[in-house]
Chain A
Amino acid sequence: MSLHDSASSAAGSSSGSSSSLSSSKPPPSSLQQDIVRHLAGAGYTIRSSDLPQVAQRLERLETAMGSSPADFFQLASDAILYNPSDLASWVDSLLSEFTQLPTCCFEFILAPVDNAWTTAELHEPRVQQNITYEQQSLDRQLTVVTAMEEDSDIRLVHKLMACAECVQRGDFSSATSLIDDMQGLLARVNTVCGIRKVAGHFIDALSRRIFLGIGGGSVDGCGSAFENEILYHHFYEACPYLKFAHFTANQAILEAFDGHDCVHVVDVNLMHGLQWPALIQALALRPGGPPLLRLTGIGSPSPDGRDSLREIGSRLAVLARSVNVRFAFRGVAASRLEDVKPWMLQVNPKEAVAVNSIMQLHCLLISDPTLNSPIETVLNWIRDLNPKILTVVEQEANHNQLDFLDRFTEALYYYSRMFDSLEACRVQPEKALAEIYIQKEIRNVVSCEGSARVERHEPLAKWRRRLSGAGFMSLPLGSNAFKQASMLLTLFSAEGYSVQENDGCLSLGWHSRPLIAASAWQAMPEPGSCVSCLE
């Protein structure tokens, strides 16, 4: 931190003069350096050249607030606000919400007052800028929330790390004796909460890696599809992560569908279709009436010959009928997402399309040089559909690192957080089955490699880069979605969950550590030509 050379005397700095800024250097040329560094430390991005205008608008807001405080409170409760980090667009959107003055006062062309959404879209290039600037610091992030409540925790963690390190080096005999030690330790301590709870699962996963080898996942089998669905359903009930995913994605989809009479949702993994009843009902209640809703559900072909996709579709159709929403369902059975082609989805050019991916994209991150990258293939066909919105929810974790020890460490802290949060669930068998659901993920992350390892979670910062590079631009999730998510949590009455907003994306976490992140995207009008997404 350069403290002394950036100090400027406080007195005598006149308003509007950018020479009152802290930097004594001449205005830098690159966009990133132009961002005021100290404000970045406070969580805000703004270009130094924008400071005077933003100051002016803050003043205007202040005056407006003073003269009509009632309107201001209205704004607070009714307006949907976006991207508080991007100071310039934030202040502009507040002004546009608040004032009904004609456009001559402002530089940007403002949309009608009640459409804050459009205003946010106009500021897209700035949002991209924020993302690029943050990447460097986020890449080096290692977020650890320790629950080291007892001395035995520390011993256990030490041994787990040492064991993982032995495994990485190929020293399986040392690893095995450490496993024996740890099992002894576990037998003596209270495993109800904290890191001890999850330690058992990690010891188990390490054992599998040692004794069954890294294809161990396939020996174990993935469980039958039926089993997996049961576990998924109980995970859904026991904790708010999947509900958050569905709520937040639905909110964004609902907003994207505003004004459209024909809408089409493509769900890249239908599962039980748990997400869709809420959207159907929300569309039914839409002012102006519901659109025609088509839902295309993609899923694996059922091994037992059941057309489970169609069954779910029928159930959803019954619901839609009961709330007077015109509805059509189509199932697309595909064992691999990269095998799906746009023509299979039968998208109509007049429809507004939403593509929805809840924890599916990470499975495509297998990097086999002999294959066409599955993730690129899928993102390409999604973009070819020209969707109005792509909703993406992913685990907020770095479980796809090349280095086994790094991956192991991340996973240990991530899953101990998640297990900790599960303690708040009092219902059985939901809780027990949810734990098994998570345990399978742990096993996959720790004991599998290659094509067997599908749980290749990557953090939001990486997904942002990937999606930008594939021709998508970020659609910020706003205060409305945030509030819905927050309120959802109060239903769980478990202190400890929190929702956070980060550059237009929302994350849900436990004890301040985000565990799942939701974001929304739109296909860029001319793929690849947007300057701001280049690094």
Chain B
Amino acid sequence: MARSNEVNLNECKMVVPLNTWVLISNFKLAYNLLRRPDGTFNRHLAEFLDRKVPANANPVDGVFSFDVLIDRGTSLLSRIYRPATAEEPQPNVAELEKPVTAEVVPVIIFFHGGSFAHSSANSAIYDTLCRRLVGLCKAVVLSVNYRRAPENRYPCAYDDGWTALKWVNSRPWLQSQKDSKVHIYLAGDSSGGNIVHHVALRAMESGTHVLGNILLNPMFGGQERTESEQRLDGKYFVTLRDRDWYWRAYLPEGEDRDHHACNPFGPNGRSLEGIKFPKSLVVVAGLDLIQDWQLAYVEGLKKADQEVKLLYMEQATIGFYLLPNNNHFHTVMDEISKFVGSDC
């Protein structure tokens, strides 16, 4: 057992830069401390360990941020990131919600990852990522601090995402000048990617227009054990056991992984034929053990005649988009920028 662990560790270190390896290994280590075998979660320790950053209304690298309370009842906070403009490099704090001035301003609603249990909108890694997206897409980004498992199971995260979407859609100050509408994109990584799909579904059902979905290493699964899961189990930071733990923590008690939240095109899934679903950009890391599920998701969209672009990054592991020190990162950022930019 120990020997095959050694082999795994060495392989893994060959494909990621050292500082990425250290970062993700540290997460893995910390997360192992937090998941208890009985399904409970050491939330106090999790919050202690999570590196958080405050919002900053002073622009840093051309981006400033502030937190808003979207729903008082559930204490649903979100962090908004905006570009500081050339005309107003230092925004007036009374005017944080000043109307956007461009003809078209994409508004990206971002759902952070963490397998439904970890991280927050103010986690340092996600604050960094959201700031990048602002500059990249010339967008306003709203990062949702959704309720997490196991304390809050399905459908809380989706409910919070939907609440945020409604809020964004109803802000006059986020409307693009061209058509006085809010140009909304949904984006997320890991569990955030899963939330993107389900919130987009609700949007379609209620006639709210979403321009596009961006799913980075989205978290999907199913009862079956797929080839990639068996081949890659424990090899690149992630094990099947931890994936199972997180699904048990998020899904309603007693449900299995063929629940539609986990497996949207599975036996309990819902067909998207005939529905106008947003175009999707799906990024799959070639060393992610759940890639078979992610690829099945893409197939499911294609079968329903939905517009989808797949970016398969062969040598990428989970979390490659957290540090700008590899080629996959730059490729993906370029594609995201094109995906959002093609709206104009």
Contact = CB atoms under 8 A, between A and B. Distances in A.
B325 A38 contact: yes
A281 to B, nearest CB: 22
A63 B6 contact: yes
Given A39-B22, A500-B52, A11 B324 contact: no
Interface string B4-44: 01100110011111110111011011101110110000111
Given A6-B324, A62-B9, A84-B49, A41 B128 contact: yes
A87 interface: yes
B36 A73 contact: yes
Contact of A144 (B1, B57, B327): B57
Interface string A498-510: 1111100000000
A137 B68 contact: no
Interface string A277-313: 0000000000000000000000000000000000000
B5 A62 contact: yes
B43 to A, nearest CB: 8
A76 B33 contact: yes
Interface in A493-529: 495-496, 498-502, 511-514
A51 interface: yes
Nearest to B48: A482
A18 interface: yes
Contacts, number: 230
Nearest to B66: A144
A48 B325 CA distance: 14
Interface string B124-154: 1100100010000000000001000000000
B19 A148 contact: no
B271 interface: no
Contacts of A76: 33-34, 42, 45
B44 A146 contact: no
A142 B33 CA distance: 34
B146 to A, nearest CB: 14
A353 to B, nearest CB: 28
A511 to B, nearest CB: 6
B125 to A, nearest CB: 5
A91 B49 CA distance: 12
A141 B54 contact: yes
A215 B283 CA distance: 63
Interface in A24-61: 36, 38-39, 41-44, 46, 48, 51-52, 54-55, 58-59, 61
B55 A59 contact: no
Contacts of B19: 21-22, 36, 38-39, 48, 51
A20 B66 contact: no
Interface in A138-186: 140-149, 154, 157-158, 160-161
Contacts of B58: 140-142
B97 A154 contact: yes
Contact of A511 (B14, B32, B67, B125): B67
Contacts of A87: 22, 26
A44 B23 contact: yes
Contacts of B30: 84
A38 B316 CA distance: 18
A483 interface: yes
Interface of A: 1, 3-4, 6-15, 17-18, 20-22, 36, 38-39, 41-44, 46, 48, 51-52, 54-55, 58-59, 61-63, 65-67, 72-73, 75-77, 81, 84-85, 87, 90-91, 94, 137, 140-149, 154, 157-158, 160-161, 193, 409, 413, 479, 482-483, 486-487, 495-496, 498-502, 511-514
18 contacts: A1-B61, A14-B13, A20-B17, A38-B323, A39-B323, A51-B22, A58-B26, A61-B29, A73-B33, A75-B33, A76-B33, A84-B49, A137-B60, A143-B54, A479-B44, A486-B44, A495-B74, A512-B55
Given A22-B325, A149-B72, A511-B77, 10 more contacts: A1-B132, A7-B329, A15-B14, A21-B325, A41-B125, A43-B124, A63-B2, A65-B29, A141-B56, A144-B67
Q: Which 7 A-B pairs have the closest CB atoms?
A: A43-B51, A43-B124, A22-B325, A76-B33, A142-B57, A482-B48, A483-B44
